Amino acid sequence: MAQAEAVWPDEQMEQVVGNLLRIGVILAATVVFCGGILYLVRHGAAAADHQTFHGEPEDLCRPGGIIGNALAFRGRGLIQLGLLLLIATPVARVAFTAFAFARQKDWTYLVITLMVLSVLLFSLFYGQPEGGLERPARPPFSDGTSNRRG
Amino acid sequence: MSVATFTLLLGTGAVVAGFLGSLTGLGGGVVIVPLLALVFGVDIRYAVGASLVSVIATSSGAAAAYVREGYSNIRIGMFLEIATTLGALAGAFAAALISPSAIAVVFGLVLLVSAYLSSRPRGEQADDESPDPLARRLRLDGTFPTPEGKTAYHVRRVPLGFGLMFLAGILSGLLGIGSGAFKVLAMDQAMRIPFKVSTTTSNFMIGVTAAASAGIYLSRGYIDPGLAMPVMLGVLLGSSLGTRVLVRVPTRHLRFVFSLVILALAAEMIYKGITGGL
């Protein structure tokens, strides 16, 4: 066991993980910030309404739709991309830990870590937007602009 | 008010929440949800979504600082994360089924309980008896650095700890909090893990737990980018300022004030929840 651990000792593993997390947060925050600027530039003057809950439009809820939105330089899409990156950061950490356990040939913990990883991936890819597709389109901003223009 | 003004106000509130949360070690998450729901009148589902995002951000950002000293135990953390992530899923699913008012009341109650629990003095560490067989099988025991060199510790009552972590996960997924204090309590008191190991390991776990429920919230449409953006950025800024100032400020007074604020928020959440103001 000591032999396998010397390949990648626990402490070193944790160092890398710590740095990974920090980089992930910085990257995510940068994307969110840029998206925020875009968003405020386009919608800054509209009236804010967060009191009623209507659920976000579908294309802002799934990873595929979010990337599409972000690539079109829509502010809200870019923000959601940043948030997605943020959520992915701990997921990446768990994936890396699984890799490290595999290198240590620690099969018990590899299995344990893969279990955690599968729960995380399930949560990211499973859910359905509230209300489904029957929800009518509506402009959420008082100045007449809608989600679609970001 | 305009979106720009709202965003600015929200961001400022988030900075303050993050700052106080990191100074007192009580976390910004417990303040964000009441702040959004009570002060800004945001629907509680959006508030919880935004708070989860900020919890991931602060805990992941801060984790690097805790790793260096060699206190945290990756194996304990990963094993218990099975429980917390499953709990977080359960909590996130439950959030869709429970009315917002009920969530508010639960939030207030949890706030009260955790404020009470964290004010109690910590129990003495019992001396090691024979090791727990499950802990030995999973190699959960470890060592941590003390002035006398590396000291060994044994982990006890693993099933109880696992169950408590599941509960902590549910709370995190339902209420948008990190449940850090709850996790530390479970590890320190139930599983007899040394306090410093508990706190550092808990910090690692918080982000993963929040990510499990945040994924569900995102795909359900509970995360509004317009809200999450200022909250995430504000809390990050506030908590990094807080850690910088940490050394020079006498935290005991701050903690006391913060506890009063939490009590007030808890009371208000319960009241509003019961009277249907939310």
Which residue from A22, A79, A123 is facing B212, i.e. has the nearest CB? A123
Give the model's pLDDT for residue B263.
84
Residues of B in contact with A84 (CB under 8 A): 218
Is B57–A120 a contact, with Cβ atoms under 8 angstroms apart? no
Question: Average pLDDT in the B170-177 region?
Answer: 89
* DSSP assignment string, A61-105: TSHHHHHHHHHTT-HHHHHHHHHHHHHHHHHHHHHHHHHHHHHTT
B170 to chain A, any CB pair closer than 8 A? The answer is no
Q: What is the pLDDT of residues B228-257, one digit of tens each?
A: 999 999 999 988 888 777 667 666 777 777
More confident residue, B15 or B133: B15
Report the gap between the CA of B134 and the closest CA in chain A (Å): 13
B65 to chain A, any CB pair closer than 8 A? The answer is yes
More confident residue, B104 or A75: B104
Give the model's pLDDT for residue A14.
72
In this predicted structure, the answer to whether residue A18 has a pLDDT above a threshold of 90 is no
CA-based nearest residue in chain A for residue B43? A51
Question: Average pLDDT in the B87-102 region?
Answer: 89
Cα gap B151→B153, rounded to integer Å: 7
Could you tell me where the DSSP H helices lie in B73-194? Answer: 74-97, 100-119, 133-137, 158-175, 180-185
Question: Average pLDDT in the B65-73 region?
Answer: 66
Is B219–A36 a contact, with Cβ atoms under 8 angstroms apart? no
Q: What's CA A40's distance to the chain center, in Å?
A: 21
Question: Average pLDDT in the B152-169 region?
Answer: 87
Q: Are B214 and B53 in contact (CB under 8 A)?
A: yes
Question: Average pLDDT in the B155-182 region?
Answer: 87
Which residue from B67, B78, B212 is facing A119, i.e. has the nearest CB? B212
Give the model's pLDDT for residue A1.
44
Give the model's pLDDT for residue B81.
93
How many Cβ atoms are within 10 Å of B121's Cβ, its own excluded?
5
Percent above pLDDT 70 for chain B? 85
Which residue from A75, A91, A113 is facing B78, i.e. has the nearest CB? A113
Is A129–B70 a contact, with Cβ atoms under 8 angstroms apart? no
SS3 of residue B229 by DSSP: helix
Give the model's pLDDT for residue A70.
67
Report the gap between the CA of A125 and the closest CA in chain B (Å): 7
In 3D space, the residue among A55, A83, A128 whose CA is nearest the CA of residue B211 turns out to be A83
Report the gap between the CA of A109 and the closest CA in chain B (Å): 7
B56 to chain A, any CB pair closer than 8 A? The answer is yes
Q: Could you tell me the pLDDT band of residue B86, with boundaries at 50, 70 and 90?
A: very high
More confident residue, B91 or B144: B91
Give the model's pLDDT for residue B71.
72
B39 to chain A, any CB pair closer than 8 A? The answer is no
Give the model's pLDDT for residue A112.
94
In this predicted structure, the answer to whether residue B66 has a pLDDT above a threshold of 70 is no
CA-based nearest residue in chain B for residue A20? B64
Q: Could you tell me the pLDDT band of residue B134, with boundaries at 50, 70 and 90?
A: confident
Q: Are A75 and A38 in contact (CB under 8 A)?
A: yes
Sign of CA dihedral A10, A12, A13, A17: positive
DSSP state of B186: I
Cα gap B153→B198, rounded to integer Å: 12
Give the model's pLDDT for residue B50.
92
CA-based nearest residue in chain B for residue A64? B219
Is A79–B225 a contact, with Cβ atoms under 8 angstroms apart? yes
In this predicted structure, the answer to whether residue B29 has a pLDDT above a threshold of 60 is yes
Question: Average pLDDT in the B224-230 region?
Answer: 90
ipTM: 0.85
Report chain B's mean pLDDT, rounded to a whole number: 82
In this predicted structure, the answer to whether residue B273 has a pLDDT above a threshold of 80 is yes
Give the model's pLDDT for residue B85.
94
Question: Average pLDDT in the B132-157 region?
Answer: 76
In this predicted structure, the answer to whether residue A99 has a pLDDT above a threshold of 70 is yes
In this predicted structure, the answer to whether residue A2 has a pLDDT above a threshold of 60 is no
Q: Which range is least confidently modeled, A140-144, B141-145, B198-202?
A: A140-144
Q: Could you tell me the pLDDT band of residue A139, with boundaries at 50, 70 and 90?
A: very low
Alpha-carbon torsion angle B48, B182, B143, A117, nearest 10:
-40
Provide the token pair at B45.
Answer: 């589902």
In this predicted structure, the answer to whether residue B153 has a pLDDT above a threshold of 70 is yes
